[in-house]
Each structure stands twice: as C-alpha cells, then as structure tokens.
C-alpha cells in the first residue's frame, strides 16, 4: 500500500477532536492563529492533520494560561517568548498566593460566620460587636487608610469596656443628663485611642479618596446605624474634643 491517507474533517469534527468548539475555531481564524483550510467542491471547509495539530497546540498553550494575544509571542524563537512565559509564571504565582489567602479567610469564616460581614483581618473581633458595628467596619475599609483599619482592628479585638457597652445599649429616648454624662465619661477612652493609635487622629485627613468622600460615606452610615441619643453623644464628644 503506497501513498498517504488524506483526512478531511468538517469544522465541527475538527473542533471535537481538538476538545474545543466551532465558535473557538472560527475565532482563531479571525485573529490569525489558525489558517483557513481549503474548501471542498460543495463549499465546506476541509480540515487536515496540520489544522488539528495546530488547534491542539493552541489549546495546550491556553490550558497553561497563555492569553490568545500572547500565543504568537510565546511561539516565537527570540527572548520575547521566554519573557512572556516568565511574566505568565509570575501572574500565576500571584494568583495562587491570592487564592491561598482567600482559602485561609474562608476557613476563618467557616469557623465564625460573622466574619463574612467584616473586612479581611478582623478575625479577632470581639463577639459583643453588634451587626451594625460590623457593617460600619466594612464601610470604613472602603474609605479609610490601611493604617487606620489596622488600628481599628486592634481596638475592636480587645475586650469591650463598660462605657462602650453602655454606649452600644443607649436607648434612643435617653435624657439629656444621661447623654451628657456618657459623653464626658466616654471622652477619655477616645483620648487613649488617639494616643495609642496616632493614625486615628488623622483618619479623615489621610482618607485615600479625600475627607469629603469619606464623610459622604461614613456620616450617612452612622445616621443609619446609630440612634438619635448615640449620635448626640458622639456630637457632644466632638464638641469637647474641639474645645481641647
């Protein structure tokens, strides 16, 4: 028996053999990765071994994570191919690290479901922090600097002080004397926090998006999550801080 056996496949057949789709094969034609085959007398494309081999090479590179736009570079003979592969390797390493970090955070969430309502790194938060407080932490993470969030993470990880518990439980109809007294007693704790965490003093000024942007998010959130009496205590403390 002499001569070579000539194979001819349709687009659907060659796509199935290569483990891809007809849509993908046509896309490879459009972007120049795969040459157009000859057509039979009936007008249908006739794919051969060279096309199938080319498709398998493309799929192999795609499976390795090489973007279609980089395949021509990777297949080249010069140093650009090595540079492209090393860049891809660095991207994959960063992706693996990110996924490992996500898995660690997910494991923490599985141990404590409330952590899904908090920014990353707040796994040591005290259990007494109410859901409204956790919501505020999520919002703070969007507007304040990493240094401020590190300080907040430490603050909410320590045991809750009696004055903080009193503030969290303050009823909306608390009378003026109660609000004024609580503001006076709560203020020293704020001073201690400012001394222990200098980043807290400049939280608004160092907000990445600017002070106005931070205020546009935080102020409505506080109005949403604190009742009228709690907001009044905070306003009184701000006034006392301004005086000092």
φ, ψ for residue 237, nearest 5 deg: -65, -40
Q: What's the pLDDT tens digit per position in 65-74?
A: 889 988 988 8
Looking up tokens 């160092």, which residue turns up?
206
- Tokens 């707040």 identify what position? 122
Report how far residue 220's alpha carbon sits from residue 233's, in angstroms, rounded to the nearest whole number: 16
Q: Report the alpha-carbon distance of residue 176 to residue 179 in Å, rounded.
A: 5
Residue written as tokens 């006076």? Answer: 184
The pTM of the full predicted model, rounded to 2 decimals, is 0.59
The set of residues, in sequence order, having a beta carbon less than 8 Å from that of 41 and lying 6+ positions away, is none
- Which among 156, 163, 170 has a CA at the least distance from the CA of 230? 170
Q: At what angle do helices 11-18 and 22-30 cross, to 10 degrees?
A: 100
**Tens of pLDDT, residues 16-73:** 999 999 999 999 999 999 999 988 888 888 999 999 999 999 999 999 888 998 898 8
């Amino acid at each position: 028996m002499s001569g070579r056996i000539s194979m001819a496949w349709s687009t659907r057949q060659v796509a199935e053999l290569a483990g891809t789709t007809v849509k993908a094969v046509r896309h490879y034609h459009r972007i120049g990765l795969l040459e157009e085959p000859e057509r039979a007398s009936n007008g249908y494309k006739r794919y051969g071994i060279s096309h199938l081999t080319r498709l398998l090479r493309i799929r192999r590179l795609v499976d390795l994570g090489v973007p279609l736009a980089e395949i021509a570079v990777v297949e080249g003979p010069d140093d650009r191919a090595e540079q492209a592969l090393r860049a891809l390797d660095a991207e994959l390493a960063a992706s693996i690290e990110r996924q490992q970090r996500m898995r660690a955070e997910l494991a923490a969430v599985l141990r404590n479901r409330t952590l899904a309502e908090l920014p990353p790194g707040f796994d040591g938060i005290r259990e007494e922090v109410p859901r409204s407080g956790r919501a505020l932490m999520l919002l703070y993470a969007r507007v304040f600097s990493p240094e401020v969030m590190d300080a907040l993470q430490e603050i909410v990880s320590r045991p809750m002080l009696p004055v903080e518990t009193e503030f969290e439980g303050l009823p909306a109809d608390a009378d003026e004397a109660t609000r004024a007294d609580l503001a006076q007693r709560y203020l020293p704790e704020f001073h201690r926090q400012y001394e222990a965490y200098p980043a807290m003093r400049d939280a608004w000024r160092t907000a990445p998006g600017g002070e106005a942007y931070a205020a546009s998010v935080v102020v409505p959130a506080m109005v949403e999550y604190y009742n009228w009496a709690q907001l009044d205590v905070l306003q009184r403390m701000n006034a006392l801080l301004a005086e000092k």
